[in-house]
Structure 1
Amino acid sequence: MPIAVDIDVMLARRKMSVGELAERVGITPANLAVLKNGRAKAVRFATLAALCEVLDCQPGDLLRWEAEDDAAPEAAALRHPL
């Protein structure tokens, strides 16, 4: 998936555990783990806002785009014609 999740980086910078973050954000540790490990298919803006508030960061500190494999540029052009 081209979106990478850097929650681990922010947790380390803030010296905070996953359990503490989950409790302060108001989500289960299991759901936070799904997001943290890049297995989530979506994230609510309210959850993203709560993560940013608790971690004192911007959404771009938690999520970043990574280019997909350049092995098939024609396929990429078909997916993104503009």
Structure 2
Amino acid sequence: MAIIINLDVMLAKRKIKSKDLANAIGITEQNLSLLKQGKVKGFRLTTLEAICQYLDCQPGDILEYRADSKID
């Protein structure tokens, strides 16, 4: 199972640069890059809220769950 982060997709749809988002929500570009790559173990809900507010989207537009296998 995996949580997929579709932040690049939302940035492209909104035509917003990563640098602009990072500055707007108060995190470093490096931390935003790690988040986009899925290399973080977790992040604050306030960060997710700030991203959604800036991009005018829902958390489900950014986060996606994909199951590797079904449990019977």
Is TM (by shorter chain) over 0.5? yes
Divergent runs of 4+, >3 A: none
**Which residue identity does 2:64 align to in structure 1?**
R
Deviation at 1:43, TM superposition (A): 1.1
Which structure would you say has the larger Rg?
A: 1
Q: Distance in 1 between matches of 2:40 and 2:50?
A: 17
SS of the aligned residue for 1:4 comes to strand
Greater relative contact order, per chain length (Cα 8 Å cut-off, separation 6+)? 2
Q: Deviations over 1:2-36 (max 9, x none)?
A: 00000000000110111011001110000000100
The CA distance in 2 between the partners of 1:50 and 1:40, in whole Å, is: 17
Secondary structure of 2:64's aligned partner? strand
Aligned amino acid, residue 31 of structure 1: N
Equivalent position of 1:52 in the other structure: 52
Percent identity reads: 47
Amino acid at match of 1:18: S
Task: Measure the CA separation in 2 of the matches of 1:47 and 1:10.
Answer: 15
Task: Give the unaligned 5+ runs of structure 2.
Answer: none
Please give the root-mean-square deviation of Cα atoms over the aligned residues, in Å. Answer: 1.4
Matched letter for residue 4 of structure 2: A
Task: State the TM-score, normalized to the length of structure 2.
Answer: 0.92
The secondary structure found in structure 2 opposite 1:57 is coil
